[in-house]
Structure 1
Amino acid sequence: MESEKITEAGSRARERRYDDACGTALALEFIGERWSLLIMRELVFGPRRFGEIKANLPGISANVLTQRLESLEEVGIARRYHLPSPANVQVYDLTEWGREAAPLMRGLGRWAARSPRHDVSLFMSGASAMMSLQALVDPARAMALPVSVAFHFPGEDFVARVAGGEILVSRGAVEGPDLAFTGDTMAMRRTIYGKAPLARDGAGGTLAVAGDVDLARSFIDLFRLPAKAA
């Protein structure tokens, strides 16, 4: 009975209309429900299993995650499929159109980070951490520093490539990066945004760095938190 109530509530939410021709109203119809945009964030850098998405969204229930994923599938933003052997697991991913929302998510995050209520001490997933690099890079500085940087978070690897003033991010390990950082996302924030001193072993709760320390400092200097709104 409880699952029926959840399903009915989800159906009513998906049928909601704003009676407004503005594209923004339609966007809210698609992704305005709680958790929807954060689920999309977790899929920006490639497919994820249901459990992996849930682990990176503290507070979401399995029922709500199922409902949101179904809603995103229904409107063509997300899709699910099975990875071939040896993985042989069901995963969720963004469609090509769904992934076009990535710049919008980065812009929204950069805008909200100017709020005095932005709390940098809260949980941050690996995908969120990497998206923050894309959102907060200084394009002019980045033009002069082509570099590939591996990030080894607990249970998850990413590589960030600086090219043409942008940060290109992909999930997974990479052979022979120019730099490698190891630690959790809080260590990443202390190192990159807090400008904490670098250490090979990650002393002081910072990222452990492998590679040229001067190059690492130059990479870190590409990023700044935005000034707070008045």
Structure 2
Amino acid sequence: MAARSYGQYCGVTTAVELIGERWALLIVRDLLVGPRRYTDLKQGLPRIPTNILSTRLKELQEGGVVRRVPLANCGLVYELTPYGRELEPIVLALGQWGFARMGDPEPDDIVTADSLTMALRTAFRPDAAASLPPADYELRLADIVLRVQVDGTRLRIVQLAPPRLIGGAPPAGEPGLVFAAGPGIRRVISGELTPAEAIDREVLVVEAGDATLLERFAEVFRIDSAGIPA
């Protein structure tokens, strides 16, 4: 259990004691993408001191949120328990709520493959996707490459780079659209920029495929300026 006790008998208090310590929710965020080795978690959270990462993982295990299990070809990995996975809608809702106050990144702010994956899952609108044909994207942001497949209400995201030993197999075939972006993709997801405006301002760069699919991307991945799904 977390070292801090608030001394109150309340479900919110218990939740905060379990996952409210610094870095705990970001560990949960990354494990919602998939199982991770200790080194994967450290690479995804480069500013976390190693002793704090070890402590948070121990606390999350003691709280029944995380467990350590063997995985073929990877050794021991950390993964969320079924109880821990119940945090997914809460983490996605927090991402939507925080989106409105993100602003522009600071010079030292980073985007990781796991944080970008969860950002797309946060912005995904299955109701909008349900009425559209399937789409297959390759999104590149700095050294991150994600394959993003939308088929009705189903979303699949595979991290192609940086390379990982853990994760889904790369999809077969070529994506319908390959495009590069920077942190300014937030302005497309918020609706502040249309895809055409984003291309004109070089926020997005189409590298291959059908550029018209960007309009579908912007429709399916959207959070309005209030931080609530459009």
TM-score by length of 2: 0.74
2:7 counterpart residue number: 19
Q: Which amino acid aligns with 1:226?
A: D
CA distance in 2, matches of 1:16, 1:43: 23
Which residue does the alignment assign to 1:137?
124
* Counterpart AA for 2:96: R
CA–CA separation in structure 2 for the residues paired with 1:108 and 1:159: 24
Alignment match, 2:225 = 227
Corresponding residue to 2:77 among 91, 103, 108? 91
Question: Structure 1 residues 63, 79: closer, same or farther in 2, change over 3 A?
Answer: same
Paired letter, 1:89: G
2:68 alignment partner in structure 1:
80
Q: Supply the distance in 2 between the matched residues of 1:167 and 1:32 (Cα, whole angstroms).
A: 29
Taking the TM superposition and a 5 Å limit, the aligned residue runs for 1:28-107 are 28-84=16-72, 87-107=73-93
Higher helix share: 1
Q: CA deviation at 1:135?
A: 1.8
What amino acid sits opposite 1:69 in the alignment? L
Runs of 4+ in 1 over 6 A off after TM superposition: none
Of 172, 187, 199, which residue of structure 2 is paired with 1:197?
Answer: 199
- For residue 120 of structure 2, what is the amino acid of its counterpart? L
AA of the residue aligned to 1:79: R
Gaps of 5+ in 1: 1-12
The farther-off stretch of 16-25 and 41-50 is 16-25
1:108 to 72, 87, 94: 94
1:119 corresponds to 2:119 = no
Report the AA paired with residue 114 of structure 2.
Answer: A
Find the residue that maps to 1:161 and give its secondary structure: strand
Higher RCO by CA contacts (8 Å cutoff, separation 6 or greater): 2
Cα pair 1:136 1:226 within 8 Å, conserved: no
Count of paired positions: 209
Pick which of 14-23 and 90-99 moved more: 14-23
Equivalent pair of 1:150/1:174 in contact (CA under 8 Å) = no
Paired AA for residue 115 in structure 2: S
Q: Displacement of 1:15 after TM fit?
A: 4.4
* In 1, Cα distance between equivalents of 2:37 and 2:203: 30
Farther-moved stretch of structure 1 (169-178 vs 90-99): 169-178
Q: Residue 44 of structure 1 aligns to a residue in which SS?
A: helix
Deviation track 1:74-120 (CA, whole Å, cap 9, x = no partner) reads 11111223332xx34332211222122111101011012223xx234
1:14 is paired with a residue of what secondary structure? coil
Map of 1:179 onto structure 2? 176
TM-score by length of structure 1 reads: 0.74
Going from structure 1 to structure 2, the CA distance change for 1:180 and 1:79 (only over 3 Å counts) comes to farther
Q: CA deviation at 1:152?
A: 5.3
Aligned match of 1:216: 214
Alignment partners' CA distance in 1, 2:199 and 2:74: 43
